[in-house]
Amino acid sequence: MKRFYLARSARERVLLLAFALVGLAWWAPMALGRWGALRRDLGSVRAEEEVQRIWFSRRADIEARATAAAGALDPAKTLDAAQAFAELNRLAAGLNAEIAAQRSERSEQFALHTVQVTVRRADLASLVRFYEQITARAPYLAVEQCSLSVDRSTPGVLSAVIRVYSIEALAPAG
């Protein structure tokens, strides 16, 4: 290569160098950019792998903990989403209530269903009674969040948005 290069005329040598430099200026930044991107991707995959490794390493402990938590529950008293809906409907009898199922979270052994109850224009005593009936079913049925607001036009009349959860024991698969 050296002999070939030095055998060229001065003009050809300068041109060859210029072409090579242009090629390098075009290629090197792109290659370095691709390298940087690969390093970032590798870092992200490694982070995900590390998170997964931690979860897998704790799998037995978590399952044991879930089993213990589930063991403290009486399966006969748990409520699935439909049962919770029906039960809340029954408890809210006499109230101007709107009940809507929101979401469910599931593990292999149990599920947690969330239902939102919206009560409009009720007196405090009726709301307290409704709350106490829910509380009596705890921990299978309980309040997760509650918001009360006063009806400005009618003193003593309240509106409430109550998020209630119910626990359902799931039969083992298979």
- Which residues of this protein are in contact with other proteins, per CB under 8 A? 1-3, 5-7, 10, 13-14, 16-17, 20-21, 23-24, 27-28, 31-32, 34-35, 38, 41-42, 45, 48-49, 51-52, 55-56, 58-59, 62-63, 65-66, 69-70, 72-73, 105-110, 112, 127-128, 131, 135, 138-139, 142-150, 152, 165, 167
CB of 163 to other proteins, least distance (A): 9
Q: In whole angstroms, how close is the CB of 135 to other proteins at the nearest point?
A: 7
Is the CB of 24 or the CB of 86 nearer to other proteins? 24
Q: How far is the CB of 63 from other proteins (least distance, A)?
A: 7
Fill in the amino acid letter for 138: A
Nearer to other proteins, 26 or 86 (CB): 26
CB–CB of 110/72 below 8 Å? no
Q: What is the 3-state secondary structure (H, E, C) of the chain?
A: CHHHHHHCCHHHHHHHHHHHHHHHHHHHHHHHHHHHHHHHHHHHHHHHHHHHHHHHHCHHHHHHHHHHHHHCCCHHHCCCHHHHHHHHHHHCCCCCEEEEEEEEEECCCEEEEEEEEEEEEEEHHHHHHHHHHHHHCCCCEEEEEEEEEECCCCCCEEEEEEEEEEEEECCCCC
Q: Measured from the CB atom, is 6 or 76 closer to other proteins?
A: 6
Question: Do 143 and 162 touch, CB atoms closer than 8 A?
Answer: yes
| Nearer residue to other proteins within complex by CB, 98 or 105 | 105
Least Å distance, CB 101 to other proteins, is: 18
Tell me the closest approach of the beta carbon of residue 78 to other proteins, in angstroms: 11
- Residue 82 or 148: the one with the smaller Cβ distance to other proteins is 148
